[in-house]
Amino acid sequence: MTWRQETQLKSILQNERGYVIHSGGGRSKFALVYPNLYKIGMSNLGIHIIYELLNNRADTSCERFFLPEPKSLGQIERAKTPLLSLETQTPLFKFPLIGFAVSFEPDYFNLLKILELGRIKLLSKERKDLDPIVIAGGPCATFNPEPLSLFVDAFVIGEGEAILPPLLDTICAAKAEGLSRTQTLQKLSTVAGVYVPSVPRQTKRQWLKNLDSHPAHTVIVTDDTELNMYLIETARGCGRHCRFCMAGYCFRRPRNRSLEVLKLEVESAKHFGKKIGLMGAAISDYPWINELCQAIRNEGLPMSVASFRADSVTAELVEALVSSGLKTLTIAPEAGSARMRAVINKGIEEEHVFRAVELGLAAGVRNFRLYFMIGLPFETLEDVEAIVTLSNRLKEYMQNHSGSGRLTLSVNPFIPKPFTPFQWAPMADKRYIEEALKMLRVGLKGKNIELITESPRESIVQAVLARGDSRIGEVLLKAHQNGGIKTFRQVLKELEIDVGYYLYRQRDKDEALPWDLLDQGFTKEYLYSEYERAQNLQKTLPCFDSCKRCGVCS
């Protein structure tokens, strides 16, 4: 009985503006899947961008799928009905092309669950000519597709706007020629930016050269999202070279949209009356941020930002955020000591953090949140102690200047991600992380500072998935069969997979890494030189025009 699922999907559609249903016309169906709940997926700008891109093609009709809410999931499983699309309530298995947008490692489990609910064979090698082709893109696919390579037929390495058009053209041509599945995948493996695990080849990441050619904003408006905002992307990539940051490396080079294009987007947003959410790696680095804030305020719209850097935040930006209802200002020093901030090349000093707090207090903000990592390469417990010292001094400063307000520390264990200079470094083990957390708890006790931490167990699962190879795919499969993410660590043990091999080893410079078949535009030598610079506390300057340092812009 699919009526219950159909009714639920139709009621979601009733609350949306901007969705597209193409009737007939020989378009090929594309299932765009976000492997998490609707409200999370609809807060992801990538889903809107790809949805519009695909539906604007004359030959494609794109429909969305999400992980059902737990209650609906139970109903679907009990009734044994297939997962249906949002737009036309069509079963997933009826779509010849299925594209997952994967942003977070824990969503790998949801990807398998959705394939199962959609009645798609989980293993790529078991799919036959009439089965759908399953592709995956997004940040996780771009930095390490290997853990998903048993389940995904082709990966999009880089930015969808640059890769999906030739990918779809190739599939259409293959269909017209009557090629088999194997032949189609072979053809796909020759498309720039497409990595096909069954035909493994060096694959070069593709990226959009001119952002103005593809304005990126909310396409489907609904109140039922996590953020409930109209999202506008101001910039892509980041040229700050923080050595821990996968996004900074995998989305190079930094690019800005022109102010003229953004002003037009703000004007279109006005009709929806929603808060504007500016998206980008470091919003305060946008060269015309003050003018953009002014344009948004001139339209009478509130605004919010995905993130900003303490060293480039301006009074205008803080005031615009506060007048939009901002109650807590978030700052990411990432490390407590100047030494560790030099290791990670964060480029933020204590005076920037105090200045950002000062700007916030002057604009009327009372609450502040600080992001830190522990277990960074070359870190010692003295550096952890420096987090305590800095936080206590900030709290004192807040008390002296506003008398009240909450200071929250969000502290996460560091994961050495692929394609960063720290990819060779071991992850700090559980014992060190627990000791560091204890030190923070003791040092902050009685200081009225809230401490929020990610559990070391969750970080370990995330890290194995981020750094894994295709053997981790087998663990994913077995964990999926045994009940999902909660069984992952147990399955690792059962399959006698040594977590230490993946996480706690120092890699040799020349060791082959699971993600070596991907080419992000820079060499391993370049990355390794950054690793050495980290050890020597050497500063690396941000990207600049005419720079050819890393190879991405040559």
Interaction site with ligand SF4 (CB under 6 A)? 238-240, 242, 245, 247-248, 252-253, 281-282, 309, 543, 547-550, 552-553
User: Measured from the CB of residue 251, what is the shortest distance to ligand SF4 in angstroms?
Assistant: 9
Which residue's CB is nearer to ligand SF4, number 36 or number 345? 345
Q: Among residues 112 and 543, whose Cβ is nearest to ligand SF4?
A: 543
Q: CB of 96: closest distance to ligand SF4 in angstroms?
A: 37
Name beta bridge partners: 129: none
Closest-by-Cβ residue to ligand SF4 is 248
Q: What is the DSSP letter of 84?
A: B
Closest alpha carbon to 2 in 68, 63, 97: 68
> How is residue 387 annotated by DSSP?
H
Closest to 315 in 3D by CA, of 350, 364, 348:
364
Shortest Å, Cβ 505 to ligand SF4: 25
Which tokens is 422 given?
Answer: 């720290």
Q: Report how far residue 337's alpha carbon sits from residue 12's, in angstroms, rounded to the nearest whole number.
A: 48
Two tokens at 15?
């609350």
Cα 131 from Cα 31, distance rounded (Å): 13
Q: Which is nearer to ligand SF4, 166 or 551 (CB)?
A: 551
CB of 373 to ligand SF4, least distance (A): 10
Structure tokens at 207: 């990226």
Of the pair 297, 339, the CB lying nearest ligand SF4 is at: 339
> The tokens of 216 are what?
């990126």
- CB of residue 229 vs ligand SF4: minimum separation in angstroms? 20
Query: Beta strands of 235-306 (E only): which ranges?
Result: 235-236, 255-256, 275-279, 303-305
Is the Cβ of residue 239 or residue 473 nearer to ligand SF4 in the bound state?
239
Residue closer to ligand SF4, measured from CB, 123 or 553: 553
- C-beta of 214 vs 309, nearer to ligand SF4: 309
3-class DSSP state for residue 332? Answer: strand
Q: Residue 307 Cβ, how far from ligand SF4 at the closest point, in Å? A: 7
Q: What angle do CA 476, 480, 484 make, to 5 degrees?
A: 100
**Least spacing, CB of residue 36 vs ligand SF4, in Å:** 22
The Cα 216–Cα 237 span in angstroms is 14
Is residue 426 helix, strand or coil?
Answer: coil
Closest separation between CB of residue 419 and ligand SF4, Å? 12
Nearer Cβ to ligand SF4 (76/543): 543
CA pair distance 554, 235, nearest whole angstrom: 21
